[in-house]
């Protein structure tokens, strides 16, 4: 990643550029990323092509100030951390849902070794509501985080991540390449069986909770208390995307919009 892009990316996150990626810098970037770059699937419902090419990710997330889902967000965050001196590995995971596990690489997470030799940490800015800060990889007991109590537990050759006792996803610790995610990214963006194609979601961390917009429902969680507001009409929805997520969209994302199936 070019140094000019590193500077623009860090500026996008609204934090000072660290001289060296130590544990404190990783924590600050991890939280800032979730507060400023929304977890969203809007490209699917705007008819936009989704690309995992690094240049396209920089254009979308840094320059156009959009968000994305795991392959995009963690895919680009890894490049930033590497540019700041960290050693980062992409890890594929199977996600829990409905009592079953998905296919491999349904989720992308990161294993980070800091530039000062600290870590490793599990970093994940692309799972929606998750840990605010990175989680220590080799710590088997509960790690308390603003997002909940997290554990990383060995299950055979894999590592299961739980939140408040509930399994979230199961990681294959063998490193993969970002290009290995292209098939599942394509499936996620196009399959009628993917929950990302059946509705819109846009969500980010806030200083005291989380704010999300799903279709026309604006959902706020403050200090654990959730409230919901139904927005009246397209103008109100577009205004909410701008006010709460910094997104200036050409029109309201519509479920069922035809998506270009090309994802690379």
CB 123 within 8 A of CB 26: yes
CA geometry: angle 231, 233, 239, nearest 5 deg: 70
Structure tokens at 74: 């963690």
124 is annotated as an active-site residue:
yes
234 is annotated as an active-site residue:
no
- Between the alpha carbon of residue 112 and those of residues 21, 85, 178, 239, the distances in Å are 10, 10, 15, 37
Active-site choice (45, 107, 130, 244): 107
Q: In terms of C-beta density within 10 A (0-12 exposed, 13-18 middle, 19 or more buried), how is residue 103 classed? A: exposed
* Alpha helix (H) residue ranges in the chain: 3-13, 23-36, 42-46, 54-57, 70-83, 182-190, 234-245
- Residue spans of beta strands (DSSP E) within 156-208: 158-163, 166-176, 202-206
Active-site choice (22, 124, 185, 244): 124
Widest pairwise Cα distance in the chain: 52
Place of tokens 């009246």: 232
Q: What DSSP designation does 196 have?
A: G
Rounded-to-integer distance, Cα 135 and Cα 119, Å: 9
Active-site choice (22, 33, 45, 70): 70
232 is annotated as an active-site residue:
no
CB 163 within 8 A of CB 157: no
- Residues with catalytic annotation? 70, 107, 124
């Amino acid at each position: 990643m070019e140094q000019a892009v590193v500077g623009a990316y860090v500026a996008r996150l609204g934090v000072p550029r660290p001289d060296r990626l130590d544990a404190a810098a990783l924590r600050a970037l991890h939280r800032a990323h979730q507060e400023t770059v929304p977890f969203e699937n809007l490209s699917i419902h705007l008819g936009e092509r989704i690309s995992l090419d690094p240049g396209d990710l920089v254009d979308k997330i840094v320059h156009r100030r959009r968000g994305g889902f795991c392959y995009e967000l963690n895919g680009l965050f890894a490049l930033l951390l590497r540019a700041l001196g960290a050693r980062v590995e992409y890890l594929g995971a199977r996600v829990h849902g409905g009592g079953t596990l998905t296919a491999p690489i349904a989720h992308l997470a990161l294993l980070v070794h800091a530039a000062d030799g600290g870590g490793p940490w599990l970093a994940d800015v692309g799972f929606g509501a998750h840990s605010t800060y990175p989680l220590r990889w080799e710590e088997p007991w509960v790690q308390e985080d603003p997002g909940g109590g997290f554990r990383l537990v060995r299950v055979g050759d894999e590592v299961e991540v739980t939140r408040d006792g509930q399994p979230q996803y199961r990681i294959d610790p063998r490193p993969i390449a970002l290009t290995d995610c292209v098939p599942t990214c394509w499936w996620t963006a196009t399959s009628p069986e993917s929950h990302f194609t059946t509705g819109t979601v846009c969500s980010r961390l806030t200083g005291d909770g989380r704010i999300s917009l799903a279709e026309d429902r604006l959902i706020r969680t403050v200090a654990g208390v959730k409230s919901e507001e139904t927005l009246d009409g397209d103008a109100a929805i577009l205004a909410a995307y701008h006010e709460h997520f910094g997104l200036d969209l050409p029109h309201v994302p519509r479920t069922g919009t035809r998506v270009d199936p090309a994802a690379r």
